[in-house]
Amino acid sequence: MDNALNRSEQSKLAHHKCRSFYRRHRGSVLPGMINLLVLVALGALPVIAYLDGQIFWLDVATRLVILAIAAVSLNLVLGFCGLASFGHAAFIGIGAYAVGIPVYHETYGGFEMIAGYSGWWHLALAIAVSALFALVTGAISLRTRGVHFIMITMAFSQMMYYTLVSLQEYGADDGLSIDLRSELPLLNLDDPLHLFGLCFASLLGALLLSWTLVRSRFGKVLVAARSNEPRLKSLGVETYRYQLVAYVISGAMCGYAGALMANFTVFISPSMVEWSRSGELIFMVVFGGSAYLFGPVIGTAAFILLEYFLSRFTVYWHLPFGILLILVVLFLRGGVSGSIARLFSKRSAVSNSVSVNSTSVAEGSAPAIQGSSQARGEDTP
């Protein structure tokens, strides 16, 4: 029964092995510096622009940072475990409704058990319900692999979508306007700077959590299971449990991003859970480079900024955008981060191009480094 599909999956896994997290940590310092630079730019530029009176850019950056947290969470299962969840938008929806529903009831009465304005309560609810949803759906989904896993996670998120659509009290498809943002000590989330600060700090936290996980024994088991699950099983490692825990952490983190999103948009609707949103999250991760801790951040930034600037030029901007996606796949193997890493791992001596910023490579004009084959090939122990 170990049929062609499984074998081809395995051969594809071989492609991924080279992109192991260990390798990246051992690799050149320069990509790390670029990542740091992107992060600093992401944190500082919008704030400078805001203080300079260009207040709109802080909104773009806030949305970008929140989606980046969601992408980082998705990468916990997609990058570490090699399990592409096509249903992560469901967690964003859960997190957002975990803010919207308590605020709604605190304002208009009813359902006093959950009503409230407290941000702690909202975040706790978002994390708890997302984790629970991840536990239940993950327990079933993780029985499958590859494309089947993609489809079953999509199925669960579609069920969530239709559930939200049928919630008449919370506006059904029209969505629900949130009257007040979450109340947190010391912070006033109505102030765009405070909100951005919280989101940015959360992104740093999410990256730190991922980094810690990946270096822990837990993370090593996950990465090993991605490369050769049967071997680990034969060693007596219950990979299923590890993967389920990773899925739950990922879901909870994504739910947290959803709670931030609700505070940013002060509006929630089932359209947050459409399957195309889950797809966009996958694109952000793959675009940036799923094998890299920082890939999702770069991918999200490239995605959002491209979407924004291309749509300035023409209503037909989907055409150049589509062509760009195809070019990225054909010529930037391993996403943007992969290309950066390859560029520097080959010629780390040349260091004067640190100024490469997050969008530059994604502009698509950067030609491919020839011979992406070197990037695949060998295995990591």
Partner 1 sequence: MDYSILVAQAINGLQLGVLLFLLASGLTLTFGIMDLVNLSHASFYMLGAFICASLTLWTGSFLLSLVLAIVLTGLAALVIELGLVRRLYTLPHLDQVLATFGMILCLDTLVHIFWGPAGIVMPLPAWLNGQINIGEIVLPVYRLMIIAVGLLVAVLLYVLVSHTRTGMLIRAGASNRTMVSALGVDIKLLFSGVFVAGSVCAGLAGMMIAPITEASIGMGNEIIITAFVVVIIGGIGSIKGAFVAALLIGMIDTLGRAYLDTVFAAFMDTETAETAAPAISAMLIYLLMAVILAVRPQGLFPPRLR
Partner 2 sequence: MNTRKHIHNTTNILRASALSAAIALSGFTPLAQAQDDSVKIGFVTTLTTGGAVIGNDMKNAVELALEHLDNTAGGKKLEVLFEDDQFKPEIGKQVTDKLVKQDDVDFVAGFIWSHVLMASFKSVVNADKILISANAGPSPIAGKLCNENFFSTSWQNNQTPMAMGQLLNDKGVNSLYIMAPNYAAGKDMVAGVESVFEGEIKGKDLTKWGADAQLDFSAELAKAKASGAEGIFIFYPGKAAGAFIKQYTQAGLQDSLPLYTVFTVDALSLPKLQEAGLDGVMGSENTQFWGPDLDNETNKKFVSSFKEKYGTYPSFYAAQSYDAINLIAAAVEATGGDTSDTAALRAEMEKANFDSVRGAFSYGNNHMPIQNFYSRKVVADADGNWTTTISSTVMENHQDPFAGECKL
Q: What angle do CA 97, 103, 106 make, to 5 degrees?
A: 140
Name the segment binding partner 2 (CB under 8 A); options: 10-18, 80-88, 215-223, 358-366: 358-366
Q: Which is nearer to partner 1, 48 or 151 (CB)?
A: 151
Q: Kindly tell me the burial class for residue 112, based on how many C-beta atoms sit within 10 Å of its own C-beta (0-12, 13-18, 19 or more).
A: exposed
> Judged by CB under 8 A, which of 3, 109, 174, 234 binds partner 2?
174
Name the segment binding partner 2 (CB under 8 A); options: 113-121, 142-150, 160-168, 281-289: 160-168
Is residue 47 part of the contact set for partner 2 (CB under 8 A)?
no
Answer whether 157's CB lies under 8 Å from 274's CB: no
**DSSP secondary structure letters along 113-130:** TT---BHHHHHHHHHHHH
> Judged by CB under 8 A, which of 5, 36, 44, 55 binds partner 2?
55
Is residue 201 part of the contact set for partner 1 (CB under 8 A)?
no
From 132, 7, 141, 168, select the one nearest 84 (Cα to Cα). 141
Alpha helices in 52-118 (DSSP H): 56-75, 89-108
Element (H or E) spanning 268, and its range? strand 267-268
Question: Is 100 in a helix, a strand, or coil?
Answer: helix
Is residue 171 part of the contact set for partner 1 (CB under 8 A)?
no
Q: How far apart are CA 236 and CA 254, in angstroms?
A: 31
Per DSSP, what are the bridge partners of residue 176? 268
> Judged by CB under 8 A, which of 266, 324, 325, 327 binds partner 2?
266
Answer whether 297's CB lies under 8 Å from 75's CB: no
Give min distance, CB of 227 to partner 2, in A. Answer: 28
Residues 6 or more apart whose CB falls under 8 angstroms from that of 264 comprise 59, 62, 63, 66, 195, 199
Is residue 361 part of the contact set for partner 2 (CB under 8 A)?
yes
Is residue 170 part of the contact set for partner 2 (CB under 8 A)?
no
> Judged by CB under 8 A, which of 45, 60, 115, 159 binds partner 1?
159
Residues that bind partner 1 (rule: CB under 8 A) add up to a total of: 52
Answer whether 289's CB lies under 8 Å from 128's CB: no
The partner in contact with residue 286, picked from partner 1, partner 2, none with C-beta cut-offs of 5 to 8 angstroms by kind, is partner 1
The partner in contact with residue 1, picked from partner 2, partner 1, none with C-beta cut-offs of 5 to 8 angstroms by kind, is partner 1
Name the segment binding partner 2 (CB under 8 A); options: 1-9, 13-21, 175-183, 202-210: 175-183
Q: How far apart are CA 174 and CA 159, in angstroms?
A: 18
Name the segment binding partner 1 (CB under 8 A); options: 26-34, 61-69, 98-106, 273-281: 273-281
Name the segment binding partner 1 (CB under 8 A); options: 20-28, 126-134, 316-324, 363-371: 316-324
Give min distance, CB of 343 to partner 2, in A. Answer: 7
Query: Segment 102-141, which members bind partner 2 (CB under 8 A)?
Result: 108
From 35, 178, 41, select the one nearest 104 (Cα to Cα). 178
Q: Which is nearer to partner 2, 189 or 343 (CB)?
A: 343
Give min distance, CB of 288 to partner 1, in A. Answer: 11
Place of tokens 């074998």: 7
Buried residues in 146-181 as b, exposed as e (16+ CB within 10 A): beebbebbbbbbbebbeebeeeeebbeeebbebeeb
Q: How far apart are CA 282 and CA 75, in angstroms?
A: 9
Is residue 49 part of the contact set for partner 2 (CB under 8 A)?
yes
From 335, 311, 329, select the one nearest 321 (Cα to Cα). 311
Contact residues toward partner 1 (CB under 8 A) are 1-5, 8, 12, 15-16, 78, 84, 140, 143-148, 150-152, 154-156, 158-159, 162-163, 165-166, 168, 275-276, 279, 282-283, 286-287, 290, 316, 318-319, 321-326, 328-330, 333
Contact residues toward partner 2 (CB under 8 A) are 49, 53-57, 59-60, 63, 108, 161, 165, 168, 171-177, 265-267, 269, 271-272, 274-276, 305, 308-309, 311, 315-318, 343, 346-347, 350, 353, 355-357, 359-361, 363, 365-367, 369-370
